[in-house]
Chain A
Amino acid sequence: MPKCLLVGVDGSDSGKRALEFARGRAEDLGARLVLAHVIPWSPYSFNTPEENEQRHARRQAELAAAEEQLLGPARELAGDNIEVVTLAKHGDRAETLNALAEEHGADHIIVGRTGESRIRSKFFGSVPSELTMIADVPVTVVP
């Protein structure tokens, strides 16, 4: 089975470096790339009635924005020589990236370092550190 790498796309500089790193690895290995953007969302949040009313429309808008602003440019950055799939999904970032990796048969997850301050990540954690704790496949964090 050909190899598959899942890359977290978030529009940040380190995210772009992660994608470049992944592209290099994919070219070397002849692997597919899955470019995924996760929109932070929890099924257990407390919303106002207006938010619920507009949720369906907002979700569509968020997915469209992710495709246009993040995944489209990322696909271009990946170039034409590699087989690329792009995905946008709502959920907890680390958990969803791991689930998508499993769903698409990715054997490696590559993400950028999010660069939160030490204090912030101590209290709230960060996506890369959480991912390294829960992921079922190896994770590479690109600085």
Chain B
Amino acid sequence: MPDLILAQSIDERISNAMNPVSSVIEGIVFFSIPVAGVNLPLIVLWLVAAGAFFTVYLGFINLRGPKHALELVRGQYSDPEDAGEVTHFQALATAVSGTVGLGNIAGVAVAITIGGPGATVWMIIAGFLGMSSKMAECTLGVKYRRTRPDGTVSGGPMYYLEKGVAEVTGRARAGKTLAILFSLSCIGGSIGAGNMFQANQATAQIIAVTGGADSPVTNFRWVVGLIFAVFVGAVIIGGIKSIAKVTEKLVPLMAGIYLLAALVVILANLPAVPAAVAEIFTQAFALESATGGIIGALIVGFQRAAFSNEAGIGSAAIAHSAVQTNHPSTEGHVALLEPFIDTIIICTMTALIIVISGAYLDPVAGELGGVALTSAAFATVIPWFPNVLAIAVIAFAFSTMLTWAYYGMKSTGYIFNDSETAETVFKVIFCIFVIVGASLSLGPVIGISDSMLFLMAIPNVIGLYILASTLKKEIFTYRAKVASGEIAKVEH
């Protein structure tokens, strides 16, 4: 079969070309120092430190904020005269559909395979700290957003880095440099985590449900990639809005089905839950274990959590900034719910299912990795669920790709002054990388995706530190006004 040989060689050629690139980038971004015999990537420390700093600096806002955040999402502070504008709920929903996805399904499985069940606890802690950094970046995203003459709104780290940092330090060039660095890495992140990783895992799930190694698709991964690329291109280049609209409706539905199925699996195994929880906690703090004990679990847990909820990365600030509000802190409050939903609720449920089912103990679990492991865990109770999961994975992957295409396009637009040509070039490159991502094996894809995504955190978090006191004033003044009743609930 000459076709087959040709097809294999296309997949392999793409893999072989990308592997060295992947290891070089990974080596730089994940520069690690050995701690207690385990490598600790400095970038993970960087994100956790930012989350911890803003948690303390903003007075444990991640504990004090959620109540007010829920009131905002329910529209209790929205002016009825603003009907028709972007509501807090809509901004949150858009941002959540960009983040909820494979990080929650595949990322958790990867964390548990590498770091053991204990990684779950560290993911939850990272999610909790991430609530504070997410609030910080989204408040600033709204504060420094830009409204164009035609009424469209753009915001995100590039704007607060440029305007905010220049305002606070008086150095316009420093702000601009950080903003450009952020935009460049955001373009990389959109192609890596926002695209290749998604295409890769969606393809893996399609192969898994169509017969695994015997699947007719196995040697034609690039064809699956091509089909995805055509759909992504139809939306981002062709401007076919109906596909995007269907996806936006499908994602919450799929998330609902996913959570429901997760509950079914947990309830079916109810007697095993206490043991699973105990396992998760003892492993989290075990000094020694097969997977490197506490440090190993901590590092991988933090890393996967950051990948899943993107707190400190800066991406969500782009999605949140179109909201209608007179007080930037309102959207910051709403944004802190995002890591809570994404990491503390959804990731924890996935982790419980994987641990309860014992699927991660299977000797081939390491090879399965990602979505396939989560899928196997669900199948222990609901044998047909992998098929549903495949649809969910495709919907999540597709919506995440569209959201990240948007982030990448905004960054391209920022660097090239909203040049349409530059944005079109970006879109075409984005589509090509859908095919590349689908063709590669998981290892190099995770390497590149993580690297590019985490690179965004460097300029973003530097900016957050520089703007910390501005931010604190903004949030504290707002909270004081709410407490005093100067900003009051609206009667509907």
Contact = CB atoms under 8 A, between A and B. Distances in A.
Q: Do A and B come from one complex?
A: yes
Interface residues of B, number: 37
A18 B199 CA distance: 54
Given A43-B75, A45-B90, A46-B248, A56 B402 contact: no
B252 A53 contact: no
A56 B86 contact: yes
Interface string B45-86: 000000000000000000000000000000100101001111
Contact of B245 (A48, A53, A60): A48
Contacts of A57: 150-152
Contact of A90 (B78, B84, B154): B84
A59 B245 contact: no
Interface stretch (B25-33, B91-99, B112-120, B461-469): B91-99
Nearest to B83: A90
A89 B322 contact: no
Given A45-B90, A46-B93, A48-B248, A53 B154 contact: yes
A44 B89 CA distance: 6
A43 B322 CA distance: 14
Interface residues of A, number: 25
A39 interface: yes
Interface in B131-167: 147, 150-154
Contacts of B407: 49
Interface string A23-64: 000000000000000010101111111101111110110110
A53 B85 contact: no
Interface centre among A54, A60, A62 (most CB of B within 10 A): A54
B490 to A, nearest CB: 12
B322 A52 contact: yes
B251 A62 contact: no
A30 B150 CA distance: 43
A136 to B, nearest CB: 14
Nearest to B249: A46
Nearest to A55: B86
22 contacts: A43-B78, A44-B93, A46-B90, A46-B93, A46-B97, A46-B251, A46-B252, A47-B93, A47-B248, A48-B245, A48-B248, A49-B94, A49-B98, A49-B406, A49-B407, A54-B152, A55-B86, A55-B324, A56-B153, A59-B84, A62-B84, A89-B84
Given A48-B94, A52-B91, 4 more contacts: A49-B94, A56-B147, A56-B322, A57-B151
Interface of A: 39, 41, 43-50, 52-57, 59-60, 62-63, 89-91, 96, 99
